[in-house]
Amino acid sequence: MKMIQRGRNNKYPEKIDTWQKSERDIPEWLTDIAKVEMVDLGSGRKKIRMNSLTSGGVEIIAADGQSILIRTQGESDYVCFGDNKLFSLTESQMGLLYKQSEDK
């Protein structure tokens, strides 16, 4: 999902792409940097390597297959990418910093 900043905070990118664990499709910006485990030849859908955490969050493994690319804490946390920065936000932080962009 594409999001745009509410108000202004230069510590965070103006526009970001996001992904949540509950979304079935993994966006290209994430499959480009994460360890891809499988590609569905029919749909072209990619599956990335990640470990589920007891907190409900996930650890996404980097393309090298070893290091952790990003870790989220809770079930509904967002993985965010913008201005070449990868970071995670809780649902509450997302509501304070970003709103849905009209850009497709």
Partner 1 sequence: MKKERNEVYVVNQPQKALMSIVLIGKNEYPLSERIHNRLYELSCISDLFFIFHGEGNRGINEDKFCNLYSACGWMISRDSLPETFIRAGKYGNEIFKTPAGYLVVPDVYDLPDIAADIIQKINASGLVQPIFKERRLGTDEFYQIYNSPADIVSKLTRPTDGLDKKYSIWTSESNTIFLRPDTFGKFETLPAEYIKSFSWSDIRYFIASAVKKLLIGNTNSNVEDLDLGSL
Interacting residue ranges for partner 1, rule: CB under 8 A:
6-11, 90, 92-93, 96-97
Q: State CA 4 to chain mean position distance.
A: 15
- Contacts (Cβ under 8 Å, ≥6 apart) of 33: 62, 63, 69, 86
CB nearer to partner 1: give 51 or 100: 100
Nearer to partner 1, 58 or 97 (CB): 97
Torsion (CA) 94, 86, 80, 3 in degrees, nearest 10: 90
What's the min distance (Å) between Cβ of 67 and partner 1?
26
Q: Quote the least distance from Cβ 57 to partner 1, whole Å.
A: 17
